[in-house]
């Protein structure tokens, strides 16, 4: 009996042709830089880039986005390079996409940057909420581009007979659009329920008084690696675009004893599709609700200033532009001493770190602690011993300067956040009375510094 040979199951790598148009005053990136990023996006999605075609225009051509001459050149390149998919660096209108598809002919696909990013997100989404958000963004993108999708759902009507006249006079396109709108509505309802659950969790962290830090940055800037380095975690991190889509929060104890949370979320990119920003609003709310945003940039990338500008633009879109932020230049282990000195001179306020080697992380933690305590107030309170949870909150969320055991409770002086100071209000004591009381104390060993023997 002849042995059966196994057949390869992996899909063949698609051959991609990239199309870019330089539009002065509209595109903020240099054409070469934008096209290089588009190539990396295509490679992230599994395609092989076999060529590119660019053109400079004052404005896009309404019919085909590029000029008629470039369209003919595009068709020639598609045939000469055996192209499977044509990818435009800018978003196409439905009619432009349709016209170009007709020009290149089947089975060549024509997509734009938005569709490419949506496809990458679809492949990388792991959690249920992430998958639902991506599906919502994809349907919102597809809705104006419908041309006879889901035609199999109308099969029964086209056969004729009993029941075949329901919906008579309704076009296939109208049916398709109604089906997509219904699905969008259901996805929004489900995401709304998940968002409400997230809000409850976020409110719990807010009510607890824990200081919240969010990592924001361009995709592949090393945010997940930085989170792992700071919190000794094992969050998935990989050298690829959009490796992390779902928010991840980890707790961290600062040297002073204060407990904070650090959240890593989806990376940003230039021309981030508005449908994605809308769909991921509940996820991005973790950034918008932070007390401090650390903007992480890849210092080894020569385009990091433009990437940081894109990040700030997105933060403005989600109403997070006014939140205190800190610029953190990551991956300095890939720079020479001269390059690091230049960065220090040109950007003195930025912190230089390497999440991979740990260089600069103590300075980053010190800066976080300094900013976190900026609005703290010093409070002296006598906390009853039965209020053990309150004692724990003071140690975790503030900096204890002094504490003394007394008959009526633990007399404590600490720098604490304003919210926690309000919680301590019923137990606060007068500073003058405290000093006179301390002068009369005859047993100094009842007083101690928390750094020597902290209360747990």
Residues 88-110 have pLDDT tens digits of 999 999 899 999 999 999 899 99
What integer best gives the mean pLDDT of the chain? 80
Q: 81 vs 126, which has greater pLDDT? A: 81
The answer on whether 153 is annotated among ligand-binding residues is no
Q: Is 415 annotated as a binding residue?
A: no
Q: Is 244 annotated as a binding residue?
A: yes
Pick from 78-82, 433-437, 439-443 the range whose average pLDDT is largest: 78-82
pLDDT at 171: 65
171 is in an annotated binding site: no
Average pLDDT over residues 221-236: 85
Tell me if 376 sits within 8 A of 399, measured CB to CB.
yes
Q: Exposure of 8 by Cβ count < 10 A (0-12 exposed, 13-18 middle, 19+ buried)?
A: exposed
Residue 423, annotated ligand binder? no
pLDDT above 60 for 454: no
- How far apart (Å, rounded) are the C-alpha atoms in residues 22 and 29? 9
262 is in an annotated binding site: no
Q: Is 98 within any annotated ligand binding site?
A: no
pLDDT (mean) for 107-121:
89
The answer to whether the annotation marks 264 as part of a ligand binding site is yes
Where does 268-411 have alpha helices with state H?
A: 274-279, 281-288, 304-317, 337-346, 361-372, 388-397
pTM over 0.75: no
243 is an annotated ligand-binding site residue: yes
- pLDDT category of residue 362 using cuts at 50, 70 and 90: very high
Token reading at 261: 């949370």
> What is residue 142's predicted lDDT score, i.e. its pLDDT?
85
268 in Cβ contact with 217 (< 8 Å): yes
Q: Is 354 annotated as a binding residue?
A: yes
Give percent above pLDDT 90 in the chain.
34
Q: Is 355 annotated as a binding residue?
A: yes
């Amino acid at each position: 009996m002849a042995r059966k040979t196994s057949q390869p199951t992996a899909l063949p790598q698609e051959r991609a042709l990239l199309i870019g148009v330089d539009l002065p005053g509209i595109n903020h990136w240099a054409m070469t830089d934008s096209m290089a990023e588009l190539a990396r996006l295509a490679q992230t999605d599994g395609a092989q880039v076999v060529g590119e075609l660019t053109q400079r225009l004052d404005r896009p051509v309404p019919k085909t986005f590029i000029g008629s001459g470039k369209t003919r050149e595009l068709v020639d390149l598609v045939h000469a390079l055996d192209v499977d998919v044509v990818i435009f660096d800018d978003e196409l209108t439905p009619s432009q996409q349709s016209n170009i598809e007709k020009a290149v002919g089947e089975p060549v696909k024509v997509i734009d940057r938005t569709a490419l990013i949506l496809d990458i997100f679809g492949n990388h989404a792991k959690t249920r909420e992430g998958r639902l958000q991506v599906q919502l963004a994809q349907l919102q993108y597809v809705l104006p581009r419908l041309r006879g999708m889901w035609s199999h759902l109308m099969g029964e009507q086209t056969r004729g007979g009993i029941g075949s006249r329901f919906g008579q006079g309704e076009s296939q396109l109208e049916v398709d659009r109604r089906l997509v709108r219904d699905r969008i509505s259901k996805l929004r309802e489900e995401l709304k329920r998940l968002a409400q659950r997230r809000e409850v969790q976020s409110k719990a962290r807010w009510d607890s008084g824990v200081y919240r830090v969010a990592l924001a940055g361009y995709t592949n800037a090393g945010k997940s690696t930085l989170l792992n380095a700071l919190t000794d975690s094992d969050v998935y991190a990989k050298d690829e675009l959009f490796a992390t889509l779902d928010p991840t929060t980890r707790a961290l104890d600062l040297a002073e004893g204060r407990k904070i949370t650090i959240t890593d979320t989806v990376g940003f990119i230039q021309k981030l599709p508005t449908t994605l920003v809308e769909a991921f609003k509940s996820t991005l709310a973790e950034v918008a609700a932070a007390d401090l945003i650390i903007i992480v940039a890849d210092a080894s990338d020569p385009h990091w200033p433009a990437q940081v500008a894109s990040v700030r633009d997105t933060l403005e879109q989600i109403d997070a532009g006014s939140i205190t932020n800190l610029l953190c230049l990551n991956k300095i282990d890939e720079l020479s001493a001269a390059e690091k000195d230049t960065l220090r001179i040109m950007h003195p306020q930025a912190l230089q770190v390497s999440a991979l080697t740990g260089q600069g992380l103590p300075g980053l933690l010190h800066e976080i602690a300094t900013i976190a305590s900026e609005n703290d107030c010093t409070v002296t309170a006598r906390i009853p011993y039965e209020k053990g949870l309150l004692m724990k909150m003071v140690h975790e969320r503030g900096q204890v300067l002094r504490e003394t055991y007394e008959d009526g409770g633990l007399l404590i002086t600490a720098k604490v956040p304003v919210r926690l100071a309000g919680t301590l209000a019923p137990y606060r004591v007068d500073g003058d009375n405290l000093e006179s009381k301390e002068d009369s104390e005859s047993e100094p060993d009842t007083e101690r510094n928390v750094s020597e023997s902290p209360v747990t």
